[in-house]
Amino acid sequence: QVQLVESGGGLVQTGGSLRLSCAASGSISSIVVMSWYRQAPGKQRELVASITRGGSTNYGDSVKGRFTISRDNAKNTVYLQMDSLKPEDTGNYYCRGFGPNSYWGQGTQVTVSS
């Protein structure tokens, strides 16, 4: 089993920044890819960014050039640095760990005011 706990969400103005954290515990050696997803009210959950065990990254088109995913293996933590935030970035952000199984955190709310 893997437990994922997100933190760092909040309210920010357009153009501002936030850094989300996802702390992993448990059988983390089984995790191959760590990802951030988001879900806005009335919309489907979408992939924001992902990072592999080897450090390869991938981003959704809407966040390329503004968001950066990174990981600190010593702390078993994945980060999402979000810059130049827009109102359309508002949503609940979830951390996902993927390996033989898929694990989700409880989510952290990000609200960007115009």
pLDDT, one tens digit per residue, over 3-56 is: 999 999 999 999 999 999 999 998 888 899 999 999 998 999 999 999 999 999
What value does the mean pLDDT take over residues 96-103? 94
- Residues near 31 by beta carbon (within 8 Å), at least 6 away in sequence: 2, 24, 53, 97, 98, 99, 103
What's 16's DSSP letter? -
Closest by Cα among 103, 114, 108 to 92: 108
Handedness of CA 92, 95, 98, 101 (dihedral sign): negative
User: For residue 97, what pLDDT is reported?
Assistant: 96
In this structure, what is the dihedral angle of CA atoms 8, 84, 43, 91, given to the nearest 10 degrees?
Answer: 20
Conformational region of residue 87, where left means phi above 0, alpha means psi within -120 to 50, and beta covers everything else: alpha
In the prediction, which pLDDT does 81 show? 98
Sequence-distant contacts of 47-50: CB under 8 A, at least 24 apart: 48/80, 48/93, 49/80
Share of the chain above pLDDT 70, in %: 100
